[in-house]
Amino acid sequence: MQGNAVVAQSGGPTAVINSSACGVIQECQKHRQIKRIFGAKNGILGILHEELFDLGEEDPQAIEGLRRTPSAALGSCRYKLKSLEESRKDFERILEVFKVHDIRYFFYIGGNDSMDTADKVGILAKEMDYDLIVMGIPKTIDNDLAFTDHCPGYGSVAKYIATTVMEAGRDTEALYTADTATVLETMGRNAGWIAGAAGLARRSQQDAPHLIYMPEVPFSIDRFLDDVKAVYRDLGRVFIVASEGLVDEEGKYITAQEGMFAKDAFGHRQLGGVAETLKNIVEREVGIKCRFSMIGTCQRNAAHFASKTDSDEAYLVGQMAVRHAVEGTTGFMVTLQREDSPEYRCTTGLARLSDVANSLKKVPREWINEEGNFITQQMRDYVRPLVLGEVPIKIGPDGLPEYVRLRRRLIEGRLSPYSVQS
């Protein structure tokens, strides 16, 4: 099928989401049936507002430079499209934009909610007899997408977290007479993949982290205090890693702002405060000085120390999405499948968007120790290959990384301005 293509990015940026965009763009340029490749400014919002730019007009070196540039170069968003019935006006507008620009290929890079949106766009296109190929490309540092062994973005955040814990742990070790305990909070609303990756940093009993807490195991303050006291008794210091999504036995979030959550556009609670909560508990109940760290968005954009494995696989899923699309495949997300072999090897597969949408993959309970306060060897073996290799970063004369910026010159709109549904 001949026509134009559009690629969009959604949700939280990562160190390698631009590698996926690069894979899409460069692969599209190899296929004659794809006439032009547009980028959507700020994800699905760019499509709704008809804010598209022709990626064929970008400098090829800038496109290649996306492979070493963090964040979302096309622009991202957190705009939530609900059901086809509730957001019918928005979905029809998307198809109206596609029709007027002869867009026949839609590539959406994102997480759970993005796959849901892509699936619904495909359903409506079929309902309205509009020929459209829709392909999802996985992206999430949380690593909680089902039907794929792991998600692009996770390997790099795992590498960053493990390294940060190694370095911060040495700081605590040097100054334990002043700051005896440290709590470091990671992202991870519903799953502990990021927090668990910190376990790679511990090569000996002395090394941080000494304790890791993930949402998969209900959090008990009494058990937590016993754990902290035991480590303090043995080492004279304690380094704790905790996921932002910790919940107690009743499913309530462990947070300093309990009951006072803001929500994002997807209706998810905006978490944070776990580290401060645990820090206060340690100081009050154990009687030792404790500090806390919240590294926030730094963990998802650390391209200066991204995993080459992660970057290469992010490029691959973008590339494969296009190859499947030009063969007529639609309504699927490209997956990563780990081969059963002594050395790490990964291939790609496909999963239906309808199956992936709004699904959730948690850390298997057997990958967490019986006490619920650290990872097992199984999780180490799972994460370790994903952090391997370094992405070659160009360093400028000022000693800092040189990242690219696309021109993103918008094409002329053909439709009336549009206001999104609230």
What amino acid positions are annotated as catalytic residues? 142
Residue 326's φ and ψ, nearest 5 degrees, are: -70, -15
CA 48 to chain centre: 24
- Candidates 48, 34, 47; CA nearest to 3 is 34
